[in-house]
């Protein structure tokens, strides 16, 4: 090492005649070198600043509904159908109208980009989702979704034993990992380090969910379906909407820290509410509403893309050119005998 290093050899070579001033100079030189080295290491290890921003809804535009400040409407437009919102529901509605030959409609969107919670971002190297990032394999009764996926080239063949999907878009296992008790495990259902009684409760929970998945009401409909509107209206299932998921689990003898954590995680992820604020109907629907299957595979799969469900948004947007108007705040909707008036503030 170059510079002033204090070693045993240095100290031995110092003669008794070395005055105090020389020794102090030597010591200070070593300290200076050490400080410089520390500064260099600290500079080297200092993490680089990663730029970023918070993405979300245009709250300033939304707040104008409270604060006012709307422009006086400068022009009138007429259309047989006005769709408010260009999230997935609005885009699908427009797509279905156009697919069936109906053209006289407009879609009004508050944001500058369509897609709602399925929007995505593009950078120099890739695309990434800003929200919804996968699609469960559709149930047989999800006719509209099946037609859309066929149009997109994602669903390539329909079969009684399960549809055939393009493998590029299927997410195979392993998809998720959970860090528990100091170790990683595959899947997010807690397994490592949990006791026999807790595992038994897990098995009982999923067994009940499997029964609900194939249960039907007096009306002949599945208890839980996607789309949700196709679910049975049988009162024995609808009564689950009167209690919370947490209370239902306790009544069924299904309550331990691991199962509670998992179900709570699922309701937070899908509904934004903990399981003690989510109805049992909604909570069970999360687990029992999906019956979609890929042919020749029993594995639970989902469809996904680099930009998440933004891939679906892109397809729908491409089919709706000329019908979408962004930057439009719908202030008021008023219906009369023969017409519906929509007051719109143009923020574009």
The answer as to CATH 3.90.70.10 being correct for domain 156-303 is no
pLDDT computed for residue 338 by the predictor: 87
- Number of neighbours of residue 185 by Cβ within 10 angstroms: 17
Coil, strand or helix: which one is 142?
Answer: coil
Instruction: Return the CATH number of the domain spanning residue range 68-122+307-346.
Output: 3.50.50.60
pLDDT grade for 46, boundaries at 50, 70 and 90: low
DSSP code of residue 68: -
pLDDT computed for residue 171 by the predictor: 85
For the chain, the 3-state helix, strand and coil shares in percent, each to the nearest 5, are 40, 15, 45
Q: How far apart are CA 263 and CA 280, in angstroms?
A: 11
244 φ, ψ (degrees, to nearest 5): -85, 160
249 sits in which H/E element: helix 245-251
If you search the block for the tokens 């950078």, which residue do you land on?
Answer: 123
Q: How far apart are CA 149 and CA 162, in angstroms?
A: 14
In degrees to the nearest 10, what's the CA dihedral of 21, 22, 27, 31? 90
Angle between helices 88-99 and 310-319 (to 10 degrees): 40
pLDDT computed for residue 88 by the predictor: 96
Residue-wise pLDDT tens digits, 304-338: 999 999 999 999 999 999 999 999 999 889 998 88
Residue-wise pLDDT tens digits, 160-187: 778 999 999 998 766 789 999 999 999 9
Q: How far apart are CA 101 and CA 7, in angstroms?
A: 89
pLDDT computed for residue 246 by the predictor: 98
Q: Strands 302-303, 340-346: parallel, antiparallel or unpaired by DSSP? A: unpaired
pLDDT computed for residue 28 by the predictor: 55
pLDDT grade for 49, boundaries at 50, 70 and 90: confident
If you search the block for the tokens 């689990």, which residue do you land on?
Answer: 249
If you search the block for the tokens 């102090």, which residue do you land on?
Answer: 24
pLDDT computed for residue 64 by the predictor: 82
pLDDT computed for residue 14 by the predictor: 42
pLDDT grade for 10, boundaries at 50, 70 and 90: very low
pLDDT grade for 341, boundaries at 50, 70 and 90: very high
pLDDT computed for residue 160 by the predictor: 79
Residue-wise pLDDT tens digits, 229-276: 999 999 999 999 999 999 999 999 999 999 999 999 999 999 999 999
């Amino acid at each position: 090492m170059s510079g002033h290093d204090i070693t045993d050899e240095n100290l031995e070579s110092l003669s008794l005649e070395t005055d105090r001033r020389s020794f102090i100079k030597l010591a200070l030189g070593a300290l200076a070198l050490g400080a410089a080295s520390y500064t260099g290491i600290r500079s080297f290890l200092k993490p680089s600043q990663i730029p970023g921003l918070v993405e979300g809804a245009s709250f300033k535009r939304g707040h104008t509904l409270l604060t006012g400040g709307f422009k006086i409407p400068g022009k009138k437009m007429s259309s047989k159908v006005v769709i408010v919102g260009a999230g997935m529901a609005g885009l699908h509605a427009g797509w279905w109208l156009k697919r069936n030959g109906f053209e006289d409609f407009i879609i009004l969107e508050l944001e500058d980009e369509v897609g709602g919670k399925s929007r995505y971002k593009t950078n120099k190297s890739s695309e990434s989702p800003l929200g919804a990032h996968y699609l469960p394999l559709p149930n047989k009764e999800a006719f509209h979704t099946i037609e859309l996926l066929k149009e997109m080239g994602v669903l390539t063949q329909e079969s009684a034993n399960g549809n055939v999907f393009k493998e590029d878009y299927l997410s195979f296992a392993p998809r998720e990992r959970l860090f528990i008790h100091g170790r990683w495990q595959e899947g997010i259902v807690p397994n490592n380090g949990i006791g026999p009684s807790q595992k038994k409760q897990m098995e009982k929970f999923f067994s009940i969910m499997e029964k609900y998945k194939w249960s039907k009401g007096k009306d002949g409909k599945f208890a839980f379906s996607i789309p949700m509107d196709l679910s049975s209206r049988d009162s024995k299932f609808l009564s689950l909407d009167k209690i919370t998921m947490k209370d239902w689990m306790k009544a069924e003898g299904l309550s331990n820290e691991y199962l509670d954590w998992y179900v709570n995680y699922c309701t937070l992820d899908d509904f934004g509410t903990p399981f003690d604020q989510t109805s049992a109907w909604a909570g069970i629907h999360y687990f029992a509403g999906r019956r979609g299957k890929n042919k020749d595979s029993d594995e639970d799969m989902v469809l996904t893309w680099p930009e998440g469900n933004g891939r679906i948004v892109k397809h729908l947007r491409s089919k709706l050119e000329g019908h979408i108007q962004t930057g439009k705040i719908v202030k008021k909707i008023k219906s009369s005998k023969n017409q519906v008036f929509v007051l719109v503030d143009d923020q574009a």
